[in-house]
């Protein structure tokens, strides 16, 4: 059996590793000259700035990949510091444990009592928006000042535009197990003891780079896939039937031919890990409904890197309450967490204000610096700015289109529109796909 993976982001690279462990012949094809996808690190004024995810959780799957890449000793973990929300003119600790819940001044006592009644509410419903679900289950104040900013801030999206079916599917599954969405939510955001916040010395991109180097014979960079078509060298394909060549996790002969700018590759299984627009283009002639993938919304983001003049707060960073009139979506305290020279990353734009990316660097930097100083009472200097037009998945109404996609046997999707975003989630899905293809 041979597997061809389209894309060498962390999903494609993790899949390459897990397939190699199981003795499966596999190759990963990446259009860009470097591995990592949205995981991008670069030097900024003598330190390391992250352009994509700012950190990850040191889960068992992440530790396994670091060991496979030979850089397990370069893992840097941080204490499970507080998450903050900027509300009523100051940073307030978000309650991620029962003790913190009792002490927090982020919520009034009536709001806390309303929140505690959540187990008595009806479970989450796919057809609701995230805003509707959170407001119904937790109350309006808790949604606007606590849960909404923390959850929506992960994606740069507006929870009022996010169907629960996609943005909350994992949380609703855990709600069914825990008997309470509140308990499931707190377990998710407060998992630091088991899987602390982490990075890699030199930047998160070192993980995909090291994996690509470790599997250099299987990972082909700077080789864009230009087409995927049914192979013509099997009796099943000659008869025009893809399904007839499929028997569980294996196939009777090569099922697909993957074409690139450099070569062609025969494959029994093709796993597409590319963004929606690229996947839709490649699968348009193979998978009914694949065109809907080209419609998926990815939120634009501006990232402003600041050097704070002091420690803004001892924690992970902060999101902004929906009751505050700020441009800032959230801030990551990279320097506090990982000793990166007082570096802080400010996020602007997203679904909240996409047109902010049209403003000049000077204007965007000034907004970020001023609002950071207002929230933290700490001076700061703008170091640099990055802009990305299509970056984090929005998980908005366009995601309903994924339900129309019918992949034929041998074609698989493993992406942030088939499961959650976030490095540990991408690794988990890759491992599951590898197990399925290898027969467990």
Q: Could you tell me the residue ranges of all domains in the chain?
A: 2-39+204-296+403-438, 97-189, 297-393
The CA–CA distances, whole Å, from 279 to 257, 301, 325, 337, 415 equal 16, 22, 38, 36, 10
Tokens representing residue 285 in the block: 């002639």
The distance from CA 27 to its chain's CA centroid, rounded to whole angstroms, is 23
CATH 1.10.150.130 fits 97-189, yes or no: no
- Residue 247's pLDDT is 39
In angstroms, the CA 161 to CA 251 distance is 41
The model scores a pTM over 0.85: yes
pLDDT in tens, the chain (440 residues): 999 999 999 999 999 999 999 999 999 999 999 999 999 999 999 999 999 999 999 999 999 999 999 999 999 998 767 889 999 999 998 887 777 777 889 999 999 999 889 999 999 899 999 999 999 999 999 999 988 888 888 788 999 999 999 888 888 888 888 888 888 877 766 554 578 899 999 999 999 999 999 999 999 999 999 999 998 754 444 334 333 333 334 444 569 999 999 999 999 999 999 999 999 999 998 999 999 999 999 999 999 999 999 888 888 999 999 989 999 999 999 998 998 889 999 999 999 899 999 999 999 999 999 999 999 999 999 999 999 998 889 999 999 999 999 999 999 999 999 988 899 999 999 999 999 999 85
Burial (CB count within 10 angstroms: exposed 0-12, middle 13-18, buried 19+), residue 122: exposed
- Residue 235's pLDDT is 42
Phi, psi of 138 (to 5 degrees): -115, -15
Residue 363, Cβ neighbours under 10 Å: how many? Answer: 11
In angstroms, the CA 275 to CA 271 distance is 12
Q: What is the CATH number of domain 297-393?
A: 3.90.660.20
Q: What is the CATH number of domain 2-39+204-296+403-438?
A: 3.50.50.60
In angstroms, the CA 271 to CA 283 distance is 11
- Residue 410's pLDDT is 95
In angstroms, the CA 163 to CA 220 distance is 37
Tokens representing residue 183 in the block: 């308990």
- Residue 243's pLDDT is 38
């Amino acid at each position: 059996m041979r597997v061809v993976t389209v894309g060498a982001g962390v999903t494609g690279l993790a899949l390459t590793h897990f397939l190699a462990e199981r003795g499966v012949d596999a190759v990963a094809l990446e259009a860009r000259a470097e591995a990592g996808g949205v995981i991008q690190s670069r030097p900024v004024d003598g330190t390391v700035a992250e352009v994509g995810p700012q950190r990850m959780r040191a889960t068992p799957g992440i530790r396994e990949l670091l060991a496979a890449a030979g850089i397990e000793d370069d893992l840097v973990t941080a204490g499970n510091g507080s998450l903050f929300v900027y509300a009523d003119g100051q940073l307030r600790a978000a309650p991620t444990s029962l003790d913190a819940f009792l002490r927090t001044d982020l919520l009034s006592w009536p709001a806390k009592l309303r929140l505690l009644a959540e187990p008595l509410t009806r479970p989450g419903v796919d057809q609701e928006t995230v805003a509707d679900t959170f407001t119904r289950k937790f109350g309006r104040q808790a949604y606007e000042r606590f849960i909404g900013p923390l959850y929506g801030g992960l994606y740069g999206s507006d929870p009022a535009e996010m169907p629960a079916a996609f943005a909350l599917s994992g949380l609703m599954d855990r709600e069914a197990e825990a008997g309470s969405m509140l308990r499931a939510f707190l377990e998710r955001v407060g998992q630091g003891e088991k899987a602390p916040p982490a990075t890699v010395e030199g930047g998160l991109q070192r993980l995909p780079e090291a994996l690509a180097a470790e599997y250099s014979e299987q990972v082909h960079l700077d080789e864009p896939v230009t087409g995927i078509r049914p192979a013509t060298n099997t009796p099943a394909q000659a008869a025009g039937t893809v399904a007839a060549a499929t028997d569980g996790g294996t196939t009777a002969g090569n099922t697909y031919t993957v074409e690139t700018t450099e070569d062609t590759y025969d494959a029994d299984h093709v796993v597409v890990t590319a963004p929606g627009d690229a996947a839709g283009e490649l699968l348009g002639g193979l998978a009914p409904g694949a065109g809907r993938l080209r419609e998926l919304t990815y939120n634009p983001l501006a990232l402003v890197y600041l050097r704070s003049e002091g420690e803004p707060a001892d924690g992970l960073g902060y999101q902004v309450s929906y009751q505050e009139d700020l441009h800032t979506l959230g801030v990551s305290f990279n320097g506090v967490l990982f000793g990166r020279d007082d570096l802080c990353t400010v996020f602007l734009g997203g679904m909240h204000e996409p047109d902010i990316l049209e403003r000049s660097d000077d204007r965007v930097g000034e907004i970020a610096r001023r609002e950071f100083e207002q929230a933290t009472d700490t001076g700061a200097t703008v170091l640099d700015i990055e802009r990305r037009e299509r970056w984090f998945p929005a998980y908005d109404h366009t995601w309903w289109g994924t339900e129309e996609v019918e992949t034929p046997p041998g074609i698989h999707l493993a992406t942030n529109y088939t499961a959650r975003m976030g490095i540990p989630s991408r690794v988990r899905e890759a491992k599951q796909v590898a197990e399925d293809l290898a027969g467990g």
